[in-house]
Amino acid sequence: MEHKTEQIKHLTSYLIKKYGEENIVVTDYWDGDNTAIGLADKTKKYTVYISDNGNTDQRFFVSLENPPTSDDFPYTPGEDFDSLTIDEVETIIIKHLKITH
């Protein structure tokens, strides 16, 4: 996480602090991309990919990943969202990861 952008670090820290490490698991499959992070539910079946695309305007791209429906791919693509605020990202994460807090 140390090489991630300040926006990604801040967002990740905020969400984990608010909802707990038992509800949000960092799944950084994109460790070579310092502008992106993955956050998953505790089962790691549902993941939210978040990127600031290198921008510093507090806007984020979000892509949802669902459990695989076949052995051909490690996940099933969900919806994509662009130019989201932190509050909008939080709302999507709570819903997709099924966080009850």
Is 39 buried (19+), middle (13-18) or exposed (0-12) by CB count in 10 A? buried
Global pTM reads 0.91
Please state the φ and ψ torsions of residue 6, each to the nearest 5 degrees.
-60, -40
Is 39 strand, coil or helix? strand
| CB of 13 closer than 8 Å to CB of 21 | no
Nearest to 62 by CA among 78, 80, 75, 45: 80
Q: CA separation (Å) from 48 to 23, 53, 100? A: 13, 15, 16
Range of the domain at 85: 6-96
Partners of 36 in the β-ladder: 51
pLDDT mean for each 10 residues of the chain (101 residues): 89 96 90 91 95 92 95 93 97 96 66
Output the CA–CA distances (angstroms, integers) from residue 15 to 1, 3, 11, 12, in the order listed. 14, 18, 6, 5
- Give domain status of residue 46, yes or no: yes
Q: What is the pLDDT of residue 1?
A: 67
The number of domains in the chain is: 1
- Alpha-carbon distance 60 to 99, whole Å? 20
Q: Does residue 36 belong to any structural domain of this protein?
A: yes
Residue 28 in any domain: the answer is yes
- 47 belongs to a structural domain: yes
Whether 88 maps to a domain, the answer reads yes
